[in-house]
Structure 1
């Protein structure tokens, strides 16, 4: 922790040790984690793994026993996203998602984060876009931009805002 507080990064580490930390987005849902994970598996490929509160000891007759306490989608290419259901909540995710819009080429939002996915080709990104766009609010249609052969933004039907684009310099 001392190295991080002093601004010393892995390249400055006198021992030459590589950082072994990875980060994974962990999304919080209000009873829709299983459906969201199934959507993301259909869009990105991979398998869904889930454990319910009941699997981990909550009495089976408890209201949240069948909800997801740990869930993830992981594919062979390294995509991974995690999710769980917040116990005791049934609020519509879209109502609590905040708002995001594009104005004059800029993004205006009150959200604290977006989920970004970047592909190597327009074909790859378009296939993901088509699945995520089902029931979504399209913020910026997927199209060529000044920096990418394909860029678009949407808020999926579970309230997650995605930024999808093609790696700059990649073939369209």
Structure 2
């Protein structure tokens, strides 16, 4: 049974939100999720990276989409980062796309991506979303099933561990 999520763009950054995102990020990472860390990782190890995201939000360069479950817990996130290069301001990056492991396989990931596309359609001048994902996990197939197209791949660009290099896969979703 799928648990519906409630999505909010640009929620207030409170201690509860911060702690919820940190827990989510650690839980996803420790379950093998490809979100910038490898297990084992603690929320404290992730905190400096989240602070960078929050600083970018405060500066207006990044926006946050949060999915909360019925209990109000942070269950999903996606960060939008806007391009500053004048020739690339018509598309936005989607980063740190996460769904809590207890909700994976329930459709919540598709809900998150649909909510992200809907949010991006409301951003002035944005025509597409780009994201990257770690090869070797089948993530590109999931994103493709949500309408994204693979537009590039850099072999071995991500070193998960010595001797474990993965492709960096570039995906694009036109918002037309």
Larger Rg: 1
| TM-score normalised according to structure 2 size | 0.28
Structure number with higher helix proportion: 2
| TM-score normalised according to structure 1 size | 0.29
